[in-house]
Amino acid sequence: MKIKKILFVPDTHVPYHDKKAWALMLKAAKMFKPDIINIQGDFADFYAVSSHSKDPNRISGLEYEVDEVKKALSQLDALNAKEKIFVSGNHCDRLERYLMDKAPELFNVVKIEKLFGLKKRKWQYVPYKSDIRIGKLYSTHDTGCAGRGAVFRNLDTYQYNIVTGHTHRLAYIVEGNAKGEAHVSASFGWLGDLKQTDYMHRIKAAKDWALGFGIGYLLPNGTVHVVPVPIVNYQVIIEGKLVKL
């Protein structure tokens, strides 16, 4: 029986990601050898085109951000997964909103897929506010809600197995229905750098957000067993093995 391995990459916010956490995830992924990689949204931060007020000391330019995202994608490409899925998130959507407001003439010219070379890299692109199904599991960035209860509300929305990003929280729940059917809802934390967060009080972010990622096992019947992988002191346990830098 062939079981396919899945790597779930949560919100990374390149180039404002936690470099140690990212390196640890890559090291663990090389050992894990995923058949499928699922980026769950907000892989890019797009701070340069955000509509929010910007810290002048943090602005690094759109070209730099795009180049750093390409480098990170190349590192994921090197894992040689047979299937790669790029789910877009609300931070990725910053670019489209910027173009709609500031340069509508370029809206159909400057696209995420082209900017990152996703087609050439053989990534399947899933636009923001859309989803994709992997076996009996849906993957989307968010369902329009955040906070501690998002993992429950996402399950209420889909009434089916669902993994999401967006909240930067690490959570896993299983709930059944009157028919005795159980479904999972999970989120796998994030890989961003807390020190570079300027849109939320850092104490609240430190309390609520968790470094981590996820893995999964896709069975031939479509069932996906998902496993959150928390990063604790820059160490993880994956398939019974301790991985550290």
**Sequence ranges of the domains in the chain:** 4-244
Strand partners, 125: 86
The letter for the amino acid at 106 is: L
pTM: 0.94
What's the pLDDT score for residue 222?
96
CATH architecture for segment(s) 4-244: 4-Layer Sandwich (3.60)
* 46, 65 contact by CB (below 8 A): yes
The pLDDT tens digits of the residues spanning 179-212 come to 889 999 999 999 999 888 777 778 887 888 999 9
What's the pLDDT score for residue 16?
92
What's the pLDDT score for residue 97?
83
Using only C-alpha atoms, the chain has a radius of gyration, in whole angstroms, of: 17
Write out residues in the chain with pLDDT < 70, as ranges. Answer: 49, 51-59
Selection from 42, 44, 118 nearest residue 85 by Cα: 118
Please report, for residues 172, 184, 207, 241, the alpha-carbon distance to residue 158 in angstroms, rounded to integers and kept in the order given. Answer: 15, 10, 28, 34
What's the pLDDT score for residue 86?
98
